[in-house]
Structure 1
């Protein structure tokens, strides 16, 4: 794993918590998988940093691999699902906060320092902010704004409640320069969580008041976006949100879209030219520029820019972790630029040298499916399953293959039977089969098997097994 200077613990998490408590050291938990591109980005851009390694010397860093024995059950216990999830615990084992993995290295170190200095957990700060029991200081607002809401998993709020919780939190953030940066980020989180829905708060039965409040809310949201997009410091501080959700934020804004496109485009060009950012983050910024063409940004020269940037960043990168995530981003950028053949060629060329070629095989299956090549789709899914490593990964890849067969060729009973028989054996040999990420995949498969009109004996047996265990 990346970051050779870090003495990662693995294996028995409960023993690690006891060791952390005995030594009075916070525990830093990394939940991930070898094939996961964002995990490989974290390894290359954050874990490899000397300032990160220096901080880990005073902590107990624990690596929970999703394929380790019992890992999926532990993930369910600690509410971990998305790869990667990064959690900081106090020496006593209380969860302090979850850190966003999408931050660039410099911003991540700053967020980690805030978490290490925190006098209250994120949960305690959130409760105080919402119930008004005490005033939060600037550091607490920063802790909440830098919380990884994407990987919360109901830890601070349920998925259904999160849009309202974030909207209340953003509204409660005090005005003024001291908390301006936290307030801007919290408002972005609230808008992303709401997926464009603007809560008017208008009185029931008063349509004109509600309409007026909705218009005011939309205008205020657009103003806040322009303030972030147009401020180089705020834009950089929130680059992770803008790169991942900026296009949707503009689509959802409902107002001043031409101004928003222009402002975000300028911010993206600044990211792409920033030498302090990693090659992967600069490529993400170029991809953002390409995606913005669909919502009105100028298209001139963008396809050539994507091709040139992809070529440059891949030519310069040999580290397997960094290259894995770079290839994944490059493929997405090439597809966004209308260059699917080049994207597939890149995937094919990486299969021999990649440490996780089975991940790229899934991408090749998706490419074949987009162009209507059913045989190619299933061939790549089957090869990905055959090449996959790790108990959870193999179960999830096998489930993906069988689900695709059921979707695309439900009449191919011999193929369904063969896959069902093999997958049943893997499930039987996996104590974690019905836990967390594995469980989600098997639930999806069970619903597909239930649609078979005349299932064969192996498919029927698998369906009964899943029904009795899910």
Structure 2
């Protein structure tokens, strides 16, 4: 991340500096252990076009484990790791950008957002104009809305609006606008995921997207990450699954794609193949794709992401033992091994090994680093103890005391955003007497 200059100081100071310099502010919210965050660092922040655009911006990264980060996140409407926000110099949001894009696609979306801002608009302005039909939107504004990160919105753009009807209203407005042609497929995919589309219309959409190389490539992130969900929302599932499988197979073997995207495509290919005709050949495919991806790892950030996707792919193929061996082999070299210990606990849970489940959760908690991370890992360990070993009162009390210490160390930050959400998970055990 050295090629991007990151502002040092508080978010308030960063916004003030952006205003003084009359530069947009680019905010990255993330955590060291988060696989998508590691992918962002390796695939987006390392891309030369993104680095070039960053020179027009004041860039600021807010780590979820930094002092007061969760309280600040509440003020800025940040929750999911990672969230990428572009602010105007006056502090208003221009847009939120998807973290799943590759570097090339992200650079194009960021350049487009800056152009929309230079023209005096934003995602909020464009959305209001589209919903009220007060004026025609430019092609760039339609693309800005299509590329908006609806998953990390937190009400920043939607406000009190519900997602599905908002997307439907956008589609109704965009269908009549010739400039919306390139944006429509992505808006339609978002609408389908929000279950705002009929099954037959969803099938027609996915088949059309898969048949068009450029459109499919522009929406590779949605197809790779939500392929199963999309197919389940469609009619003609076998036909749609076959089209997705074939498109994913091309991506999985595409020399020009980065290793994480190729491996995600291989996972999609395998998922679709399982829906159609599960076979032993899937095991060979899984092993081959995982080996090729790990061999291509270019840095620790990318390797972290690849191992996480590889474990998911192997589990999808029914190769839980192989996934377990892969995780254990990478623990010594991982910069956040406690993250992978959660996956090891999950594998142990699937095979019914309660002792291993609790031991991995305990080890993960004991080695976790960072106040927000420790609260999240502590809640995970304690809740699993209560569910799986309610009679181990001494162990439960030890975990409770450790979590109380972490809550005390976090101070006021324990009452905000992700910390508050994690602690709320323990509310069904009032006997724990944890702070509300």
Deviations 1:192-248 (A, max 9, x none): 012xx64xxxxxxxxxxxxxxxxxx43333212211111111110000111111222
- Structure 1 residue runs without a partner (length 5+): 199-216
Q: Find the partner of 2:262 among 266, 273, 282.
A: 282
Instruction: Give the SS at the match of 2:410.
Output: coil
Measure, in 2, the Cα distance between the counterparts of 1:11 and 1:292.
47
8 Å contact from structure 1 (residues 265, 297) kept in 2 = no
Range that drifts further, 341-350 or 290-299: 290-299
Q: Residues 139-288 of structure 1 correspond to what in structure 2 (within 5 A)?
A: 139-157=140-158, 161-175=162-176, 178-194=179-195, 198=197, 217-253=198-234, 255-288=235-268
| TM-score under structure 2 length normalisation | 0.96
1:425, distance to aligned residue in structure 2 (A): 1.4
Instruction: Give the SS at the match of 2:182.
Output: helix
**1:329 equivalent in structure 2:** 309
8 Å contact from structure 1 (residues 405, 416) kept in 2 = yes
Count of aligned residue pairs for this structure pair: 432
Deviations 1:330-373 (A, max 9, x none): 00000101100000000001110100000001111111111111
Instruction: Give the SS at the match of 2:426.
Output: helix
Task: State the Cα RMSD in Å.
Answer: 1.6
Range that drifts further, 320-329 or 156-165: 156-165
8 Å contact from structure 2 (residues 310, 323) kept in 1 = yes
1:159, distance to aligned residue in structure 2 (A): 8.4
**1:213 equivalent in structure 2:** none
1:292, distance to aligned residue in structure 2 (A): 0.9
Q: Residues 336-355 of structure 1 correspond to what in structure 2 (within 5 A)?
A: 336-355=316-335
- Structure 2 residue runs without a partner (length 5+): none
Deviations 1:284-326 (A, max 9, x none): 0000011112321574733211101111221232511000000
**1:75 equivalent in structure 2:** 73
| TM-score under structure 1 length normalisation | 0.89
Q: Find the partner of 1:98 among 82, 96, 99.
A: 96
8 Å contact from structure 1 (residues 290, 303) kept in 2 = no
1:160, distance to aligned residue in structure 2 (A): 7.5
Measure, in 1, the Cα distance between the counterparts of 2:231 and 2:279.
17
Deviations 1:77-105 (A, max 9, x none): 11101100000001111100000000111
8 Å contact from structure 1 (residues 250, 257) kept in 2 = yes
8 Å contact from structure 2 (residues 231, 241) kept in 1 = yes
Measure, in 2, the Cα distance between the counterparts of 1:10 and 1:393.
22
Instruction: Give the SS at the match of 1:48.
Output: coil
**2:358 equivalent in structure 1:** 378
Deviations 1:388-423 (A, max 9, x none): 111111111111111111111112111111111111
8 Å contact from structure 1 (residues 262, 297) kept in 2 = no
